[in-house]
Amino acid sequence: MGTLKAFKYRLYPTKEQQRLLDRQLEECRWLWNTLLAERKSAWEERQESVDYYAQKAELPDLKATDHPALREVHAQVLQDVVLRLKKAFDAFSRRMKAGEEPGYPRFRGRGRYDSLTFPQVPVGCTLDAADKRVVVSKIGRIKVLLHRPLEGRPKTATIRRTATGKWFVSIACEWEPTPLPPAGREVGIDVGLKVFAMPSTGKEIANPHFFRTAEHALAKAQRKHQRALDTHNATRAAVTVRVKQAHPDLDAWQVWQLVSQDPEEAGGRPHA
């Protein structure tokens, strides 16, 4: 068996494909939370552990009656959700036995489930290198930026949504490393801070200073974020004052609840 090597490519789904991908992620999130709640209540109420295979066997009934929307997701992707939950509990048990901080598996909020895994490529997901498309079950043909060729035999594929809304696919391949041809000479490399690397040949490799290059853009983004946060806090404070004036009998907790639900309706738009 060879080494597993991952190849990551940027995806450019259409708006409709993006909507379908988001929908599938939400269905997987629902499944995760449902199965986690089942495990949690079984232990709290009966001190019983729910087996991975038992939960995997529940999937057909969930798709047939309880939650038909699961049919929109490939069957192996749903099975991977069950496997991920099993691994989370295995890691929890391992930390408990080792006396470490256990970290009980958490429920996922909206938008907090961000990847779909196809464990048996090409089933459900395959790369069409000639057409530069990734063919995904129940989604369609998604445009891919194929910046380097795929090497080896594809084993698994994971489609992931980043926090900024970008989409990527990572394809793990069974790959046999090929040694480079002998060059007939030896080279020593000294790695440092001022200079990234100094080979024994004497031609230095400059430090790219990635952080310094992006420092100005980062500072600009942080200022923009802080201005938005200040505006949000000022708006909330202004609306809170209006609610207190309109409803003097409300206590602080009730005011906070009212403002959090709908600040515009509660006190109107604050004056500039």
pLDDT over 50 (residue 167): yes
Residue 113 in domain: yes
- In contact, 124 and 137? CB cutoff 8 Å: yes
Who has greater pLDDT, 126 or 101?
126
Confidence class for position 241, pLDDT limits 50, 70, 90: confident
Query: Comparing C-alpha atoms, which of 127, 119, 167 is closest to residue 151?
Result: 127
The answer on 103 and 38 residing in a single domain is: yes
The two three-digit tokens of residue 89, written as one number = 């509990």
Polymer length in residues for the chain: 272
- pTM of the entire structure? 0.72
Residue 250 pLDDT > 80, yes or no? Answer: no
Please give the residue range of the domain that contains residue 42.
3-174
pLDDT at 180: 83
C-alpha distance across the termini of the chain, in Å: 67
pLDDT band at residue 239 using 50, 70 and 90 as cut-offs: confident
Same domain, 139 and 240: no
pLDDT of residue 262: 57
pLDDT over 80 (residue 18)? yes
Residue 4, CA distances (Å) to 44, 79, 134 in order: 40, 22, 20
Indicate whether 163 and 216 sit together in one domain.
no
In a domain, 70, yes or no: yes
Q: What is the mean pLDDT of residues 76-101?
A: 94
| 117 lies in the same domain as 42 | yes
Q: Per the structure, how many domains does the chain have? A: 2
Q: Same structural domain for residues 58 and 156?
A: yes
Looking at per-residue confidence, does 97 or 202 come out higher?
97
Q: What is the mean pLDDT of the chain?
A: 89
Of 132 and 190, the one with more pLDDT:
132
CA distance 170 to 159: 7
d(CA 169, CA 12): 10
Domain annotation covers residue 85:
yes
Q: Are strands 167-175 and 3-12 parallel, antiparallel or unpaired?
A: antiparallel
Helix H, strand E, coil C: the string for the chain is CCEEEEEEEEEECCHHHHHHHHHHHHHHHHHHHHHHHHHHHHHHHHCCCCCHHHHHHCHHHHHHHHCHHHHHCCHHHHHHHHHHHHHHHHHHHHHHHCCCCCCCCCCCCCCCCCEEEECCCCCCEEEECCCCEEEECCCEEEEEECCCCCCCEEEEEEEEECCCCCEEEEEEEEECCCCCCCCCCCCCEEECCCEEEEECCCCCEECCCHHHHHHHHHHHHHHHHHHHHHHHHHHHHHHHHHHHHHCCCCCHHHHHHHHHHCHHHHHCCCCC
Neighbours of 163 (CB within 10 A): 7
What pLDDT was estimated at residue 196? 82
174, 199, 223 — which closes off a domain? 174
- Could you report the per-residue pLDDT of 96-113, keeping only the tens digit for each? 999 898 889 999 999 999
Work out the average pLDDT over 13-20. 97
- Lowest mean pLDDT, pick from 126-135, 166-175, 188-197: 188-197
Q: Are 253 and 269 in contact (CB under 8 A)?
A: no
CA 29 to chain centre: 11
Domain boundary among 174, 200, 229: 174
Query: What pLDDT does residue 264 have?
Result: 52
Mean pLDDT confidence for 8-33: 97
For 136-161, how does the pLDDT look when each residue is reduced to its tens digit (9 = 90+)?
A: 999 999 999 999 999 999 999 999 99
pLDDT at site 41? 95
Answer whether residue 230 shows pLDDT above 60: yes
Close Cβ partners of 25 (under 8 Å, ≥ 6 residues apart): 113, 114, 115, 116, 161
